[in-house]
């Protein structure tokens, strides 16, 4: 990102292994922002219980990630080219993210983040289940979209 000081920032070694992670650093060690997509094992519960508020008075997810880093258990993936990560931490960026999603959905006639569609395409649910989910939403554009997946 062009303004990493606004985010959690991860630093990598030459082999692209995470070596440090900081929350909103004044002098970032890299331009790699942490987008806020995390998958944790059950250890996260105990880790979170032992956190202390940061100097900003907040509990920081970065502190959870630092524990995993210290344990050698932090795995970081760089988002592929073409992947859109949308910051929504300010009123302006939230509005911009909404506009971006709207443009993509309207131009491509697809929904972004439609979990029912993913479940159907991955065969976690069948056509009858998708139809049952869509039925109470049939008066909305979303319900109509779900039904269109069955055509």
Q: Mean pLDDT across the chain, nearest whole number?
A: 94
CB atoms within 10 A of CB 58: 10
Rounded Cα distance, 114 and 110, in Å: 9
Whole-number Å distance between alpha carbons of 21 and 13: 12
Confidence (pTM): 0.69
What phi, psi does 132 have (nearest 5°)? -65, -35
Residues 34-66 pLDDT 10s: 988 899 999 999 999 999 998 889 899 999 999
Give the start-to-end residue ranges of the domains of the chain. 4-70, 91-148
**Number of residues that make up the chain:** 151
- Mode of pairing for the β-strands spanning 18-23 and 8-12: antiparallel
Residue 5 CB-half CA count within 13 A: 2
pLDDT at 102 (0 to 100):
96
């Amino acid at each position: 990102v062009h303004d990493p000081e606004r985010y959690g920032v991860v630093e990598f070694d030459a082999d692209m292994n995470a070596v440090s992670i900081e929350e909103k650093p004044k002098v970032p060690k890299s331009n790699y922002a942490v987008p806020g997509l995390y998958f944790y094992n059950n250890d996260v519960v105990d880790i979170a219980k032992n956190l202390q508020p940061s100097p900003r008075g907040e509990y920081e997810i970065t502190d959870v990630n630092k524990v995993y880093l210290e344990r050698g258990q932090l795995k970081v993936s760089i988002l592929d080219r073409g992947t859109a990560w949308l910051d929504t931490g300010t009123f302006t960026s939230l509005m911009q993210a909404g506009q971006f999603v709207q443009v993509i959905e309207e131009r491509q006639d697809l929904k972004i983040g439609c979990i029912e569609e993913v479940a159907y395409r991955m065969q976690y649910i069948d056509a009858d289940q998708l139809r049952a989910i869509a039925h109470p939403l049939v008066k909305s554009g979303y319900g109509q979209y779900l039904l269109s997946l069955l055509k």
